[in-house]
Amino acid sequence: MNYRAPRGTHDIFGEDAAKMSWLEQKARDIFKKHGFEEVRTPIFEESSLFIRSVGQPTDIVEKEMYTFEDKKGRKLALRPEGTTSLVRAFIEHKMDVLMPVSKFFYAGEMFRYERPQSGRYRQFHQIGAEFFCVSSPVADAEIILLACDLLDFVGINEMEARFDNGHFFEMKVHLNSLGCRKCRHVLREKLVEYLISLSNLCENCLRRLVKNPLRILDCKTDSYKFTEIPQLSSYLCDECKHDFDLLKSLLEVAKCDYVVDNKLVRGLDYYTKTVFEICCSDILSSINSSTPIKDAVNCYDQNFKPYYIKARRMNKDLNRRITLAAGGRYDNLVKDLSGQDTPAVGFALGSERVLIVAEKFGSPEFYKSFRKFEKVYVAIADQELFKEAFSFAVKIARNGLKNSKDISVFGPINDKSLTWQLKFADKIGARKTIIFVKTEFKKGKVLVKNMENKVQTEASICEL
Ligand SMILES: [Zn+2]
Ligand SMILES: [Zn+2]
């Protein structure tokens, strides 16, 4: 029997693993600069926790949760998202009582039973942050800007500049307010009124009309019908309206490019007031070419070879955009999960998707930044120098070479010819091969072969 990774999962190795670690490390650095502390929660929790927080009538709980019973019959679920576990930990460790303000982040695997598609897996990675105890929109603004900063670091904003000032490619914050406990029902009624006026909604939508009408706006089948959704923000109560206006002005001060998006409701039950998504144009359906095209953007593949992409023009249709990060405020969740009444706001981004976009529009900087370690191969032309070469390899792995500290050392492998070793060095993408040859070694020297231009020079061992 041939074993394969379970459907919808994948092994991440080679450069993909390096990219994933690089993204998470960048995120850690940025979060720390903004005063966020890392939390690592278990990857499974009691299923009832997610049912209560995410909400029963959501796709996540209805269809996508990986649930199982352990040997004692406890009903558990692999975490489908990060916020719930973090809130549970926040309450369990009494951080709602101990700390006036708490800022946390996480990075790790999430699990959802979904139909696998490009860039979407059943085990996937998210990076997210949660800001507790501040009800002012200052916290919302900080969370949104933090998410934008992270995407900037990956080079997404730089892509926008290369794309003729966003003519083809655009990253934008889509923003909406869902209201608080006081005004939410008004928004809901207005929306239901509008939805009832539409004819021929699909079966799914009709079912949601009662249980979760906000969720209908996400329906892929019916979305084209939702052309005149009532301006929900005009039904907000005074407090919610004030907060929404203040948030918008804070984003303007920070020069953050946002748009109020009436259709944006986010599928989860726990959101209150602010919800947002950071989206970019659906560039995954763009055309590639190795010759310049008019109005195209110059990208680079992983070998820094240029290629050109002509992307779709920004499409007004909301289904034609890709969500890179999303989040919102959830002022009732901590209390709903039996904690103190604690306002909170957070976001999460999908690592796989962000990396696909970053790679598709790769710049040399993107590839250089995660390929930090230069590969060096230590080879032997004469078998009797094996131990000397071995001890040299250990030494440079520990201390680096004089001119490059960040190296990744391979070899030596004995019992193989020099030709075999050089071929292998090429295969792993070594930048240089250091060759131990008897005649040179007697003079305290080795040969250094530049694997790109194949030029070979002599170097003294103690100077390397
Ligand atoms: Zn309100
Ligand atoms: Zn529908």
245 C-alpha to ligand 1 centroid (Å): 13
How many domains does one find in the chain?
2
Domain membership of residue 201 (yes or no) is no
137 C-alpha to center of ligand 1: Å?
13
Q: Evaluate if residue 76 carries a pLDDT over 60.
A: yes
Ligand 1 centre and the CA of 354: distance in Å?
33
Q: Per-residue confidence at 165, pLDDT binned at 50, 70, 90?
A: very low
Domain presence at residue 209: no
Residue 225 alpha carbon to ligand 2 centre in Å = 10
Ligand 1 centroid – CA 272 distance (Å):
9
- Average pLDDT, whole number, for the chain? 87
Q: Domain range for residue 341?
A: 15-183+236-369
Q: Which of 342, 369, 396 is the last residue of a domain?
A: 369
Residues 348 and 386 in one domain: no
Q: Of the given ranges (10-14, 136-140, 223-227, 270-274), which has the lowest mean pLDDT?
A: 223-227
For 141-214, strand residue ranges (E) read 171-177
109 CA from centroid of ligand 2 (Å): 30
pTM: 0.87
Asked if 106 and 128 count as a contact pair (C-beta separation under 8 A), the reply is: yes
- In tens, the pLDDT along 437-456 reads 999 999 999 999 999 999 99
* Residue 51 pLDDT exceeds 80: yes
Is pLDDT of 72 > 90? Answer: yes
Do the domain assignments include residue 191?
A: no
CATH assignment at residue 137: 3.30.930.10
pLDDT for residue 14: 85
Name the domain boundary from 353, 369, 385.
369
Which long-range CB contacts under 8 A does 41-44 form with residues at least 24 apart? 41/79, 41/82, 41/85, 41/86, 41/88, 41/89, 41/106, 42/79, 42/85, 43/78, 43/79, 43/108, 43/109, 43/111, 44/76, 44/77, 44/78, 44/79
Residues lining ion ligand 2 (Cβ < 5 A) are: 202, 205, 219, 221-222
> Residue 417 pLDDT more than 90?
yes
pLDDT over 90 (residue 223): no
Average pLDDT over residues 189-200: 86
pLDDT at 30 over 90: yes
Confidence tier at 287 by pLDDT (50, 70, 90): low
The answer to whether residues 90 and 137 belong to one domain is: yes
Domain end (from 310, 340, 369)? 369
Same domain, 453 and 355: no
User: Is the domain of 302 the same as that of 402?
Assistant: no
pLDDT band with cut points at 50, 70 and 90 for residue 166 = very low
CATH number for the domain including 451?
A: 3.40.50.800
Q: What is the pLDDT of residue 403?
A: 84
- Ligand 1 center to residue 182 CA distance, Å? 5
Q: Whose atoms come closest to the Cα of 186: which ligand?
A: 1
Same domain, 285 and 427: no
Nearest ligand, CA 207: 2
Please tell me which of 225-229, 313-317, 362-366 the model is most confident about, judged by mean pLDDT. Answer: 225-229
Q: How many Å lie between the centroid of ligand 2 and the Cα of residue 382?
A: 72
**What's the pLDDT at 288?**
62
Token pair 């009800």 is at which residue? 135
Q: Give the range among 219-228, 318-327, 426-435 with minimum mean pLDDT.
A: 318-327
Give the number of the ligand closest to the Cα of residue 201.
Answer: 2
Instruction: State whether 174 and 275 are in the same domain.
Output: yes
Domain for residue 192, yes or no?
no
**Residue 207, domain member (yes or no):** no
Instruction: Note the pLDDT of residue 265.
Output: 82
Any domain includes 231 = no
Residue 162 sits in the same domain as residue 51: yes
The answer to whether residue 203 scores a pLDDT higher than 90 is no
Calculate how far, in angstroms, residue 124's C-alpha sits from the geometric centre of ligand 1: 35
pLDDT digits (tens, 9 = 90+) for 113-146: 988 877 679 999 999 999 999 999 999 999 999 9
Q: In angstroms, what is the span from residue 206 Cα to ligand 2's centroid? A: 7
Proximal ligand: closest to the CA of 215: 2
pLDDT at 154: 78
Of the chain, the percentage scoring pLDDT greater than 70 comes to 89
Give the residue-averaged pLDDT of 31-50. 96
Same domain? For 306 and 245 the reply is yes
pLDDT at residue 159 tops 60: yes
pLDDT of residue 160: 58
Residues 36, 126 within the same domain: yes
- pLDDT tens string 104-114: 999 999 999 98
Handedness of CA 82, 84, 87, 91 (dihedral sign): negative
Is residue 331 within 8 Å of residue 352, measured between CB atoms? no
Q: How far apart, in whole angstroms, are the C-alpha atoms of residue 39 and residue 186?
A: 37
Q: Are residues 351 and 412 in the same domain?
A: no
For residues 317 and 172, state if they share a domain: yes
Give buried/exposed letters for 38-50 (b at 16+ CB in 10 A, else e). ebebeebbebebb
Question: pLDDT tens across 168-184, in order?
Answer: 567 889 999 999 989 98
Same domain for 147 and 292, yes or no, is yes
Position 286 scores a pLDDT of 56
Which of 352, 127, 169, 175 is CA-nearest to residue 277? 175
Contact (CB, 8 A) for 349 and 150: yes
Specify the higher pLDDT residue, 420 or 60. 420
- In this prediction, residue 270 has a pLDDT band, given cuts at 50, 70 and 90, of confident
Tens-place pLDDT, residues 293-342? 665 666 777 777 777 666 555 444 444 678 899 999 999 999 999 999 99
| pLDDT confidence of residue 317 | 45
Evaluate whether residue 40 is within a structural domain.
Answer: yes
Q: What is the distance in A from the centroid of ligand 1 to the CA of 339?
A: 22
Strand ranges (E), 311-410: 321-329, 344-350, 374-380, 407-410
pLDDT value for 198: 84
How buried is 29 (Cβ within 10 angstroms: 0-12 exposed, 13-18 middle, 19+ buried)? exposed
Instruction: Specify if 445 maps to a domain.
Output: yes
Q: Which residue has the higher pLDDT, 158 or 270?
A: 270
